[in-house]
Amino acid sequence: MTINKTDEQWREELSAEEFQVLRKAGTERPYTGEYVDTKTVGSYRCRACEAELFTSDTKFDSHCGWPSFYAPLAEDRVRYIHDRTLGMERVEVRCANCDSHLGHVFEGEGYGTPTDQRYCINSISLTLVPADDK
């Protein structure tokens, strides 16, 4: 089920910072997000709609300033958009359920992960649900 809401509805539900990142494709400053160095076991959900997107099993230390994952929970949980803003060629990652901006995915950077991908995701786009809270 895809969630469709107006900007007004999203503004009522999200903080100004959340709205800027999730709905306007903004980016939080590096090394400022709450999940950059988190090692807690659990699942990461979309902060806008609570869809489960990533797990701690795929989170790794990339030292890039944002939480990094080498794969989403399942490919149908995210969607990809070619992003040519800021003079760069990147692939934007969005929540497939509510179309909120999560971050970007990069390939071929040489990280020792099973997929050779780095999903560079804004902490403010996520909510961590610890495994012991499920």
What confidence score (pLDDT) does residue 134 get?
54
For residues 100-108, average pLDDT:
96
| Structural domain 7-133, CATH architecture | Beta Complex (2.170)
Cβ atoms of 51 and 41 within 8 Å: the answer is no
Residue found under tokens 């359920």? 97
Instruction: Answer yes or no: is pLDDT of 120 > 80.
Output: yes
Report d(CA 74, CA 72) in Å as an integer: 5
Average pLDDT, the chain: 94
Report d(CA 26, CA 32) in Å as an integer: 14
49 flagged as catalytic: no
